[in-house]
Amino acid sequence: MFKIVMLILIATLAPISAFAEPIIELNANPTEIGSLDLILVTGRITDVSIFKPITLTVVSPDGQIIYVLKSPLDNTGLFKKIINPPLPKFADGTYRIIASHEDTKITGQAEFTVITGDSQIISAPLQETIKIEPKSSAITLNVTSKTGDNKITITGVTTSSITDITFTVTSPNGNLISIAQVTPDTNGEFLLEIISGGPVWKEDGFYTVTANQGLTSEHKQSVQIEINNGVVVPEFGTIALMILAVSILAIITISSKSRIGIISKY
């Protein structure tokens, strides 16, 4: 009798164990991009803890790991992540994305290919995947920083809270020096802190901070920050301060001559 009961239990549990084996689905969209384009990675994992993130490892054509990213799961196991190009850009070739989770040894894989050129037109189905409806810019940016400080705070708001915002910083001569990504809150508000200084900030002049939302930059806004010796320039700016100093000196000189003329008359 005991053996019969055990056989029944084993027969009952076996299908459950097979059904509970985790599955990872992974997609990269689009599968062909330019060297400065972004990649949207989406997927789903089953039968693991949704409180632990999925790990996305990006492997370059020569076998080097260029990114190890974490993406949270929703309550159904779905995840998504936008992958930025590394500095200065993606090299040509085929890249692998490997999705893994600490609750299973099973992995999922997807590939995308980088073709020659710095721009790739994204098709309409991809825009529908991101679900950003407005075509014009809907991002506002505000810059806060103290004179002579190297910490720059960017705050703002966007009309779309469902897609990450990618920030790029370009130097006065147009070189890309930094890339960052932030997730807006449910109200569309976001905050980013940028630290200036170091070799990539060696040029003096106006640096451009650009916010892009969506793979085809449906939302886009830019601000400029003047940097001198790696820190924020005073509100008037270097040139304006020089002009102001010369003007004050001229006023002092004219006033001095006027006083001398008055004294000579008497």
pLDDT digits (tens, 9 = 90+) for 134-185: 344 578 888 887 777 788 889 988 887 777 888 888 888 888 888 888 888 8
Asked if CATH classification 2.60.40.1930 holds for the domain at 139-239, the reply, yes or no, is: yes
| DSSP 8-state code for residue 90 | P
CATH 2.60.40.1930 residue ranges for the chain: 2-121, 139-239
Choosing among 1.10.287.70, 2.60.40.1930, 1.10.1740.10, 3.40.50.2300, the CATH entry for 2-121 is 2.60.40.1930
41, 80 Cβ separation under 8 angstroms: yes
pLDDT, residue 4, reads: 57
Tell me which of 4 and 29 has the higher pLDDT.
29
Tell me the C-alpha distance between 71 and 73, whole Å: 7
Q: Which contacts (CB < 8 Å, 24+ apart) does range 121-127 have?
A: 122/30, 122/37, 122/215, 122/216, 123/30, 126/29, 126/30, 126/40, 126/215, 126/216, 127/214, 127/215, 127/216, 127/218
pLDDT, residue 262, reads: 52
